[in-house]
Amino acid sequence: MLGTIRQFFESQLFSTEQESDQDRVCRLQLASAALMFELLKTDRHIDDRETHKLKEILTDRFQLPARQLQEIIELAEAESAAAVSLYEFTSLVNEHYDYDEKVQLIRHLWELAMADDDLDKYEEQMIRRTADLIYVSHSDFIKTKLAVRDARATEN
């Protein structure tokens, strides 16, 4: 079963010369979701609030039906577990996202990290490393962190 999932994920994550626009979008969604799931695992405790926030972000960002959303989450979880480094995902982001989309991804990572009201130092390190790998400036890294923090403060 895991081999089948892995084959499907690899066929979705890695491009071919005949790749359609829909295939490219799917690969980017999977890479983004995998980065988000990787962040959830960072503090070794996945809180229900974090899982809910992940689904909310993926629903809003990708406008997927519930069945596809669940499939992407399961595939992202499987790929995240098998990934050796963040490079597998960030290379796709670098290849296809413009700068504003990269900043938005960092914002989503901050939203996930803060969803359980406990910003773990390892979560912050992972977001910093991701920002570095996708060439988001330090000032935008900090601005998105503060914006998410301030938005959460006004919600509570």
Number of domains, the chain: 1
Which domain range does residue 59 map to?
2-10+22-155
Q: Concatenated DSSP letters for 27-68?
A: HHHHHHHHHHHHHHHHTS---HHHHHHHHHHHHHHH---HHH
Residue 135 lies in a domain: yes
> For the chain, how far is it from start to end, CA to CA, in angstroms?
43
Residue 115 lies in a domain: yes
Q: What is the pTM of this model?
A: 0.76
Q: What's the whole-number mean pLDDT along residues 48-57?
A: 85
Q: Please write the tens of the pLDDT for every residue from 85-124.
A: 788 778 888 888 889 999 999 999 999 999 888 888 999 9
Residue 15 lies in a domain: no
